[in-house]
A and B are shown apart, each in its own frame.
Chain A
Amino acid sequence: MRQLPATEAAASQRGTSGMKRRFSFRLELDPSRSSAPWWTPILSVALALLLCAVFIAINGMNPITVYMRMVTGAFGSSFGITETLVKAIPLLLCGLGVAIAYRISIWNIGAEGQFAAGAMGATAVIIYFPDLPAVLTIPLMLVFGMLAGGFWGLLTAIPRTYFGVNELITSLMLNYVALLALDYFVFGPWKDPQGFNFPGTPMFTEAQSLPVLGTTRLHLGLVFALIAILLYFLTIRYTKWGYELRLIGANSNAAKNAGININKHILIVMLISGGLAGIAGMAEVSGVTHRLMYGISPGYGYTAIIVAWLAKLNPLGLIVSSVLFGGLIVGGYSVQTMGLPSSISSMLQGAILFFLIAGDMLSKFRLRSGG
């Protein structure tokens, strides 16, 4: 009872200070909201489109016409749709790869290099065993592509686990190393002798190419990607290992105290993460370009980072966001005829990521008036 007046006094003090600052507003964390709502990705894409519309307008173009052209280019015809899906395949595989790593807070930004490593691994099979039948070549290419990508992922994981080196820097440095190695092969020992100096290997034969759907360029890689997504979903949801990954992601100290060997998990996860990007590289050479060549990736590995974030690491979300970004790449190509650089799509990608993190955080805040 003796405490009551004190509490009252405190309450009235709060009240007066509230009165004084009646017209002021402030942002504060809303304790009732722990995760961002489902609509922030949609809002962030819309705001990014709005921001880039300003830059397109400055460039002297009508943004609505440009966006319409991008949409019709990517989704307006059956050719556009299959091309979009062809671009979505590597994005989905690489995006899934980085998403698995992000689950345990391993910042793998090396999907670009792991993709190139996978493409080189798959091509090595063709260079050294040129005359195998399709039933042998394709699985061998898949295995070697996966192993090469996984090895490249391990090169990031080993410095992290045994030397405490930040994986962001390592994985990015390895991207440049992998792309330079690819340049070495296609300008050097693997160059097509009949290729008029084109920096690429000889064209693959029918037996070395992934089967395609009808007359389109849509290839078997789509099935690989969908199987990978399904496996990811089942593993994370229903297995002990998936549970351990979720535990590490939620609280790595708790996981360590529960007896989980985090370093072992980092090595395995980076092997898988790199392996998935490696499959993407294999599918790209065997299914789309039918040769290893200079500049094989238009930045799939970097776009994959945004794909994974936009999807919030969710399997279904990964499918949606990789198709969206595949469409963005195809749409970017189709506005080139209007005199706009195709880099408009990479500008949009960066802007989407900005608005996404801002939106995710802002939705956790609430506006309060007064003190």
Chain B
Amino acid sequence: MELTTQLLIAAIAAGTPLLFATLGGIMNERAGIIQLGAEGLMLMGAVTACLTYLQTGSLSLALLAVFGVSAALGLIHAFLCVTLRANQIVSGLAVTLFGTGFSAYLGKSVSGQPLGTTVPRLQLPWLEPIPVIGPIFANLNLFTWVSFVLVIAMHVFIHRTSWGLHLRALGDNPATADVMGIRVQLFRYGYVIVGAALIGLAGANMLLVYSPTWIEGMTAGRGWIAVALVIFARWNPIRALFCAYFFGVLDTLGFRIQLTGSDIPPYFLKMIPYVVTILVLMFLGWRNRNKPSGTPEALGQPYIREQRF
């Protein structure tokens, strides 16, 4: 296989968990709620998938448990942010810190145990003969196909349906949404929970496909990179796909440079995704200094019906 194809395959493999987490983040933030709990949610998703799979041996049960656990954490976040109007940043940090600690506690007994999962792959033999596209798409696992469908579905949902219009209103101007008859609190709850479940799915995807062994803190900051990806993608699902794959490439780049036998210490190569995240954010900040960044306008503000802005 030529290098570009290899790189694209690696980008998709490493980028899909990031993509799920970014899509979850977009859903939360479009509804006006900041989600900084991504790292904790991903870790909880991963450890839940690991424990359930080892107990039951069933992939679908594992995914169901992941949805349950991460939706429950999303519910707590929603309760704190929507009902109690707590500081969304601190609430998100609490989700991350609790998720990190709790996942380490739960996963202690299975730490380092290989899972040996087989996520079903969609075989499309008729695609094989086509150059570039063939080798990439003919043998993808189910998670990746689900993520493709999700990107398109979310794009259509947000930009082409009236529900999506309501979602954008929640994030940009909840007072208007309220006047339009949308139940702001209820829908914010809904979107926060669904978004959290998607981020949990990202963790499960990472554990079941990308590195099938539970290790404490295995996401290594990918949840936070997803938080940054939401900004890169300017809250747009289609852009999120490209941004996630770009970071997927960066994720595997260090390893690839090492394979070529270069003598750059591996520690510096591992820094690449983190440093590039900061540099890209700085570049975007510089380029968009006089332009709107696409941030939902009421992001981070609790909505109180009686209060005027």
Contacts and interface: CB of A to CB of B under 8 A. Distances in A.
Contacts of A27: 83
B220 to A, nearest CB: 7
Interface in A164-212: 164-166, 168-170, 172-177, 180-181, 183-184, 187-188
A350 B102 contact: yes
Nearest to B36: A168
Interface in B76-98: 76, 79-80, 83-87, 89-91, 93-94, 97-98
Contacts of B93: 109, 305, 353
Contact of B285 (A163, A180, A187, A362): A163
A183 B267 contact: yes
A57 interface: no
B101 A177 contact: no
Interface stretch (B56-64, B149-157, B269-277): B269-277
Nearest to B286: A163
Residue with the highest number of chain A CB atoms closer than 10 Å, among B40, B76, B277? B277
Contacts of B89: 107, 168
A176 B90 CA distance: 21
Interface in B268-305: 268, 270-271, 274-275, 277-278, 281-282, 285-286, 289, 304
A347 B98 contact: yes
A187 B267 CA distance: 10
B178 to A, nearest CB: 17
B65 interface: no
Residue with the highest number of chain A CB atoms closer than 10 Å, among B87, B97, B271? B97
A343 interface: yes
B127 to A, nearest CB: 38
A350 B97 contact: yes
Contact of A163 (B85, B101, B105, B281): B281
Contacts of B135: none
Interface stretch (B137-145, B190-198, B207-215, B221-229): B221-229
B104 A346 contact: yes
Contacts, number: 133
A357 B278 contact: no
The main secondary structure of chain A at its interface with chain B is helix
B86 A361 contact: yes
Interface residues of B, number: 47
Contact of B221 (A172, A345, A347): A172
B285 A177 contact: no
Given A188-B265, A341-B104, A350-B101, A176 B94 contact: no
A351 B231 CA distance: 29
B245 to A, nearest CB: 19
A300 interface: no
A172 B224 contact: yes
Interface in A336-371: 341, 343-351, 353-354, 357-358, 360-362, 365
B62 to A, nearest CB: 19
B99 interface: yes
A109 B93 CA distance: 9
A168 B90 CA distance: 11
Contacts of A348: 101
B105 A344 contact: yes
A15 interface: no
Given A159-B285, A343-B108, A353 B90 contact: yes
Residue with the highest number of chain A CB atoms closer than 10 Å, among B87, B108, B220, B274? B274
Nearest to B283: A163
Given A177-B275, A351-B98, A353-B98, A358 B84 contact: yes
B100 interface: yes
B216 interface: yes
A55 interface: yes
Nearest to B281: A165
Interface string B165-181: 00000000000000000
A350 B85 contact: no
B85 A357 contact: no
A97 B286 CA distance: 28
Interface of B: 36, 40, 76, 79-80, 83-87, 89-91, 93-94, 97-102, 104-105, 108, 216, 220-221, 224-225, 227-228, 231, 265, 267-268, 270-271, 274-275, 277-278, 281-282, 285-286, 289, 304
Complex A-B, nearest 7 residue pairs according to Cβ-Cβ distance, in ascending order: A350-B98, A346-B101, A163-B285, A343-B104, A341-B108, A361-B84, A184-B267
Given A177-B274, A180-B268, A344-B105, 12 more contacts: A164-B289, A166-B231, A168-B89, A173-B228, A177-B271, A181-B271, A183-B267, A343-B108, A343-B216, A349-B101, A358-B84, A361-B85
27 contacts: A27-B83, A107-B89, A163-B285, A166-B281, A168-B89, A168-B227, A169-B277, A175-B221, A176-B274, A181-B271, A183-B267, A184-B267, A302-B100, A341-B104, A341-B108, A343-B101, A346-B97, A347-B102, A350-B98, A350-B100, A350-B101, A353-B90, A353-B94, A354-B76, A358-B84, A360-B86, A361-B85
